[in-house]
Amino acid sequence: MKRIVLPALVLAATAVGCRDATLVPPRSLDSPSAMAVARGNVCLSTFEDAERVIQYDLSPCADGERGAIALIVNEQSDRLALMDLTSPLPRLIDLDPTTPGPNHLEVGRLPVDVASSPDGTIAYTLNQLDRDVSIIDLYTPQVLRARFSVNETPIALDVDPKSGEVVVAAGSPSRLYGFAGISYCGADEPCEGSPDPADVQPRSIDLPGTVSSLVFSPLGDEAWVVYRDLGYASVISFGETPDGFDTACLSGVDSKPCIVANVSLGFDCSDGLDNDGDGLVDQQDPQCFGPRGAESSRGLGRVQMDACANGLDDDEDGLTDRDDPDCAFASGLDEGVSPLATVPVTTCNDSIDNDGDRQIDYPSDLACYGPLGRTERTIRTLGFDAIGIDTHGVFAYVADRASEQILVIDARRKVLIDAPSAELPRTDALDAQLGVDVSPSPLSVQGAIERSISWRDPADDQHVVMRYDFGAWLSANNGSLQYVDTVVMFCELTGEIVDRNAFWRGEQSAQESRCLELPSFPLASASSRVVVADETLPASCLEPDFVECATCLEAGELVCEACLPFAPTQFELCQRAFTDDVTRYVNPRFALRDGGGDDGRLLGSGTCEQPEALLAAMQTYAAANPTGPQDLKCNSLLMPQPLVADAVSIAPDDVDALVGLGRATLVELRTLQFDADNANAPIVGFRPSDQRILTEGVTSTFEGVIPGTLRTDGLFARSAEDDGSIWVNVGFDPCVRGVAPGDHFVVTGEPLSRCAVKQNLEYEIVETTNSQLRIAPFDGGAAEVPTRSCFDQGFAYEVRATEEWVVVGEAAGFLSPFEPVLGQCIPRFGASRISSRVRTGELYQGPYYSFYLYPGIGGDEVPAVRGTSVTFQVTSGFASVLFPTCSSLGQQCAAGLFPTQVLWVPGLPGGTLLLSPDPNDEFIHVRNLEQSAGGYTVIR
């Protein structure tokens, strides 16, 4: 075999100003834009000659060995570079020792992509200007004369890991070409039985959009593509349909290759697909009231769906959902009763061609979402940039640069996962997107699975608890690499455990293969699973007492005595546990990985407001109970105040149990593992989870003023209603501010002298619109309402919650459970799970932190009174895992770094590597993830 050499990296110290000088080797890469890894039968052996020059031999691997060579295309120099990956920090291979510096192989013009054969002996480069594919024999190594020709401009390239077929995505028109794989045995001749490239005729398939990225499933036969101009991904099958099976082709004709699935990458009502199979797409479907809606209750959307969006003609008038005039929005509860007194004029019913396409209103303008649609413009997707799949085909990930998110796909079920609803606790009520928020714009993404032994039975070496971390690495256009933490799973295994190299080759046992089979997301609630007696649950979840507790919770009861013996974590255990052939505990993350450690905490003891009535009640109780708390400051256990969420299981009169509890806690995720003595018994560890937790001050006020409602622009109607209520014009939108019937409207201004109502001008709100409130007298307030004659001009007022604490964050603010639609207040999506109000003695579950509103020692003897408030500080301590793609030779990160790709390469002799090419600054960033210090370098 041909001997090739690589000059050793020389570091020399000079006595100039007492500083070390680093000698940087000459740059040989020229716009490295894409990389691949050839793993298989070509191995590199190294030795150092007498001149201390590292030399390499490329040769067939010995039995049991497996080579690893990085392939790098250089767009500007039209060359392919090779890099040795067998050492902890790789180096380029010099392919011509007779000339200075590392030298590379000349391929076609403007190579933009590269891939290798399944056995690692052949490399392929996609040459955009030549419109063909170069073939490189890695044994020699040399570029062969023959090439695969593509009629159109090629965009992307990948190789089927099962058959070796070379698949090229081309544009104008958009099409995939499949070329039979080639094997070479040297001397520029195909191996026996391998076709000559000149004789290979490709098979092809037309695609509906312009491909931006192409990747094969590691299981083979199926390729995934995303488009620059469509809101979905396509899955294309290249494998033949087995005998006895019907074709899976969407066309119904078994002609391979063919599209077998189109996977939505957005909301049902704007993704370009018929998600519910009724033959209607997006705005054509009467279940769609806008682009962020869903086509069915099982679909992906951010609109609450009731009778007006169920696909049924509930009142049997021949009209369904939004086409029924009685349905103004998806959350309408009845098709027979209109929520609107008069139908408002909107863009889609105003008899005007608003977008200039010569189509007017609904149904003529196909862009309208029904007769009350608010735009005639067609929703246009910006498409997607890249797709990657993990090593075992569990999750696929899509980089959405426009929305700065990573979308997560269940690759085996071929469905998009709503990441905010899949993580626990759910945050879909607060997130307008379906993916994992990342910043800045992601350019490339690749799935990863980290595998480690969490526990090994000391009595049985083949009885272990294996941990699997599913996630993805992404590169961003600020020159950084980030990690998305998708799912952490613990799985109990018995029997022979394959080593790491065999695992990455897919040679794990059938039992371990079951460990990689995840449930669908979001996970079913614990109470739902135990009510139906799910046999996959651990036995503790099916005990009669626990089932009784879960049944009570499922019924929506506020107090469930049957639940008192159970800790809150028991419900999460039953939600996340799965037992069939193996026992697994699934822990959804769907967020950036926290690299800052478990630093989420409370800062300081906070401040408070203690009205005189509360302070007097506390003093009276303390005097009558000398063995109880005597401290009357803000942290007194007599005073209602926020305590950690675990305090929900503490009896109010158990003073000792309250000692040492924090004033508040961040949202916590339970990491379910196995007890070391009994692998079937879980233990629970805690850690802060949500990177969106804000460092801020939080104020909780009993019957506090709802933010934004302390104003001076109230105006009463001229007369009261027959039932004694009256309408008030207000200068804010009650929906946006979260004002609800039952709140109290307090007039703080002085009425005119002629007004019969003089004092205590406090009323109950009984109805709201987008600009008005209807108020009425209540016991304890004024006996009658004032009219315009009492306040002939604007007056001062405020709106207060009733018997609830109002929780407001300095940054997070106050979350309204409603949103205004066409002049009406409708429930905000997911508002039932998250609110900015809580009653004394209940658990507050906010968007970024949670706490138990402890009622205080003494119960009814020391009640909260209006104006009682507690202010405390929280901090998240979150820092996302982020590696800047900088030089390891002391250079600073330059502006405008542009890592176009990220490669995660596990199972190498020197450890798992993270590789990223940067064509702008012309280097390869290399990081060894198994070396905590010094494990990175830059290859030029």
Residue 186 pLDDT > 80, yes or no? no
Contact 444, 901 (CB under 8 A): yes
CA dihedral 639, 643, 648, 652 (to 10 degrees): -30
Mean pLDDT of 638-659: 77
- pLDDT of the residue at 548: 85
E-strand spans in 128-221? 132-137, 142-149, 153-159, 166-171, 175-179, 203-206, 211-216
Per-residue model confidence as pLDDT tens digits over 16-31: 334 334 444 567 898 9
pLDDT digits (tens, 9 = 90+) for 772-787: 999 999 998 888 999 9
- Calculate mean pLDDT across residues 668-687: 67
Average of pLDDT values for 281-306? 90
pLDDT tens by residue, 565-587: 776 667 778 888 888 788 888 98
Q: Whole-angstrom Cα distance, residue 339 to residue 329?
A: 9
pLDDT average, residue stretch 664-672: 71
Distances in whole angstroms, Cα of residue 597 to Cα of each of 409, 485, 487, 687, 689: 28, 14, 18, 9, 10
Q: 337-346, 613-622, 823-832: which has the minimum mean pLDDT? A: 823-832
Query: Distance between CA atoms of 414 and 239, rounded to whole angstroms?
Result: 17
Tell which wins on pLDDT, 799 or 455.
799
Mean pLDDT of 69-95: 90
Tally of CA atoms within 13 A in the half-sphere of 919 that contains its CB? 18
Q: What are phi and psi of 352, to 5 degrees?
A: -125, 140
Q: Provide the pLDDT confidence category of residue 36 given band limits of 50, 70 and 90.
A: very high
Most confident option among 184-188, 672-676, 913-917: 913-917
> Apex CA 747: angle with CA 741 and CA 750, to 5°?
165
**Residue 685: pLDDT above 80?**
no
Can you tell me the mean pLDDT for 252-270?
Answer: 94
Give the DSSP letter string of 93-124: -BS-TTSSS---EE-SSSEEEEEE-TTSSEEE
CA atoms within 13 A of residue 880's CA, in its CB half-sphere: 23
503-535 pLDDT, tens digit per residue, is 988 888 888 999 999 999 998 877 777 777 777
End-to-end Cα separation, the chain, in angstroms: 26
SS3 515: helix
pLDDT of residue 15: 36
Radius of gyration over every alpha carbon of the chain, rounded to an integer in angstroms: 33
Digit-coded pLDDT (tens) for 323-377: 988 888 888 778 888 877 778 888 999 999 999 999 999 999 989 998 888 888 8
Segment holding 918, helix H or strand E: strand 913-918
- In percent, how much of the chain has pLDDT > 70? 89
Torsion of CA 90, 93, 94, 96, to 10 degrees: 180
Residue 404 backbone phi and psi in degrees, to 5? 50, 60
Picking from 753, 741, 578, the residue whose alpha carbon sits closest to that of residue 672 is 578
| Residue 605, pLDDT score | 65
**Who wins on pLDDT, 192 or 808?**
808
Asked if the model's pLDDT at residue 148 lies above 80, the reply is yes
Phi and psi angles of residue 736, each rounded to the nearest 5 degrees, phi first: -65, -35
Q: What is the pLDDT of residues 448-488, one digit of tens each?
A: 999 999 888 888 888 889 999 999 999 998 888 999 999 99
- Interior/surface letters 208-247, b for 16+ CB within 10 angstroms, e for the rest: ebbbbbbbbbbebbbbbbbbbbbbbbbbbbbbeeeeeeee
Q: What percent of the chain has pLDDT over 90?
A: 42
Note the pLDDT of residue 164. Answer: 93
Instruction: Burial-class residue 651 by CB neighbours within 10 Å (0-12, 13-18, 19+).
Output: exposed
- Averaged confidence pLDDT in the chain: 85
Is the pLDDT score of 48 beyond 80? Answer: no
Reported confidence tier of residue 82, pLDDT bands at 50, 70, 90: very high
β-strands 843-845, 837-838 pairing? unpaired
Contacts of 274 (CB under 8 A, 6+ apart): 280, 281, 285, 295
Cβ 431 vs Cβ 397: under 8 Å: no
Q: Where are the beta strands (DSSP E) in 663-757?
A: 665-666, 668-672, 684-688, 696-702, 711-716, 726-729, 744-747
E-only strand ranges, 175-328? 175-179, 203-206, 211-216, 222-227, 232-237, 258-264
Res. 51: pLDDT tops 60: yes
* DSSP H or E segment with residue 547: helix 544-554
Angstrom CA distances, 346 to 191, 341, 352, 357, 550, stand at 70, 15, 10, 17, 46
Q: Residue 474's pLDDT is what?
A: 96
3-state class (DSSP) for residue 935: coil
Mean pLDDT, range 821-830, rounded to an integer: 76
- Cis peptide upstream of residue 173 (ω within 30 degrees of 0): yes
